[in-house]
Amino acid sequence: MIEQIQKIEEEIETFNAKDTSDIEKFRIRFLGSKGLIKGLYALLREVPNENKKEFGQKINDLRTIAESKLNNLKGSNKKPVNKKSEEDLSKPTRADSVGSHHPLSIIKREIEDIFKKIGFSISEGPEIEDDWHNFSALNFPPEHPARDMQDTFFIQKGKEEIALRTHTSSVQVRVMENNQPPIRTISPGRVYRNEAISARAHCFFHQVEGLYIDENVSFADLKQTLLYFAKEMFGEKAEIRLRPSFFPFTEPSAEVDVSCTICNGKGCNVCKYTGWLEILGCGMVYPNVLESSNIDSKKYSGFAFGMGVERIAQLKYKVNDLRIYSENDIRFLNQFKSEL
Ligand code: DAH
């Protein structure tokens, strides 16, 4: 038996482990529940009583040697077995697994940043809206065609008809109801219209609404704010022009064109040789609209504007088919990685 113990001791001392699997083999062979040392303890039963103490002591020593060897092996040999985890963990991850922001998110954020710089806050409202916030409070007469089923998605909620908002102008009502001037806010969000989907129209798209109410806010303030926006968004050379228009909630109202971003106003097929591209609607907030939200229209005046995010994206990225923005085509989305 002494011989046997010595042999095992030698084997323990000369054992070399290349990796963690070898260390585990060592543990099982010598210290496992069916291992060699356990086997020696079993043999102890057959040893005459007078030698039991001596042999027992020797096996205990052997176990201590095996345990400290095991600890040493664990400490010095940390190499993992698994091929995969042998990779250098400090290596950078593969760049191609990084996603990209959606072009509409990029443009939305750009618009937000431009207005934040001049003191506008960001406000949001619900996409499922009631008639009051989407239409009535904005001075839409009851028979106005925009309320027609053609344009608006209605949802029947019990006896009440609610709608998917058709524009983010509904948020300006909510802001006015809950705040007194001065108010300076923009409201980005998704809007819905009951339109057949084509390259030029979609049943949902995105807008950014702007609202500025204070004492003595004038049309000149509106023009200057929009010129600032156009230059920030399209470059220092950008010009704007305002054309008279109509919206129930503003008076006077205008549509705003920016000088063509492709030909700089010289005329090309994108601007249909006019040199101008339409980008938004705007106007001075109609006094009725202020009063509907409990704002004193004698003391305060304000301007509002609303722009389509897809429209701005079309002009910046020259992507003209509206449908591609919601098709989730990776080949399209990957092209915006550099914009991160
Ligand atoms: N809500 C309008 C639309 O969806 C856009 C708009 C025009 C918003 C004029 C305004 C505004 O705030 O003053 O077509």
CA-to-CA distance for 78 and 69, rounded, in angstroms? 14
Strands 240-247 and 204-214: unpaired
Q: What distance in angstroms lies between residue 323's CA and the mean position of ligand 1's atoms? A: 22
* C-alpha distances in Å from residue 241, one per residue of 208, 226, 265, 267: 19, 10, 12, 15
**Ligand 1, pocket-test mutation among 115, 164, 166, 167, most atoms within 8 A of CB:** 167
User: Mean pLDDT by 10-residue block, N- to C-terminus, for the chain (340 residues)?
Assistant: 89 90 93 92 88 90 92 74 68 72 95 98 96 93 75 86 94 97 98 91 96 98 98 94 96 95 82 91 97 96 97 88 92 81
**Ligand 1, pocket-test mutation among 305, 309, 310, 312, most atoms within 8 A of CB:** 305
Q: Is 212 in the pocket of ligand 1 (CB under 6 A)?
A: no
Q: State pTM to two decimals.
A: 0.72
Q: Is 209 in the pocket of ligand 1 (CB under 6 A)?
A: yes
Q: What distance in angstroms lies between residue 128's CA and the mean position of ligand 1's atoms? A: 18
Q: Are 137 and 289 in contact (CB under 8 A)?
A: yes
The whole-number pLDDT of residue 78 equals: 58
**Neighbour count for residue 162 (Cβ, 10 Å):** 17
**Neighbour count for residue 169 (Cβ, 10 Å):** 29
Q: Are 95 and 331 in contact (CB under 8 A)?
A: no
**Neighbour count for residue 292 (Cβ, 10 Å):** 19
CA-to-CA distance for 187 and 137, rounded, in angstroms? 17
Q: What distance in angstroms lies between residue 165's CA and the mean position of ligand 1's atoms? A: 13
Q: Is 106 in the pocket of ligand 1 (CB under 6 A)?
A: no
CA-to-CA distance for 316 and 259, rounded, in angstroms? 13
Q: What distance in angstroms lies between residue 282's CA and the mean position of ligand 1's atoms? A: 6
**What's the residue count for the chain?**
340
The whole-number pLDDT of residue 2 equals: 84
**Ligand 1, pocket-test mutation among 139, 165, 169, 190, most atoms within 8 A of CB:** 169
Give Cβ neighbours of residue 74 (< 8 Å, ≥ 6 apart).
23
Atom of ligand 1 nearest to the CA of 209: 12
Atom of ligand 1 nearest to the CA of 306: 8
Q: Is 208 in the pocket of ligand 1 (CB under 6 A)?
A: no
Q: Are 309 and 111 in contact (CB under 8 A)?
A: yes
- Which sign does the torsion angle of CA 151, 155, 160, 162 carry? negative
Q: What distance in angstroms lies between residue 314's CA and the mean position of ligand 1's atoms? A: 19
The whole-number pLDDT of residue 179 equals: 96
Q: Is 306 in the pocket of ligand 1 (CB under 6 A)?
A: yes
Q: Has domain 103-123+179-192+204-339 been given CATH number 3.30.930.10?
A: yes
* C-alpha distances in Å from residue 15, one per residue of 1, 7, 9, 72, 102: 21, 12, 10, 12, 58
Among protein residues, the one with the nearest Cα to ligand 1's atom 8 is 306
CA-to-CA distance for 309 and 311, rounded, in angstroms? 5
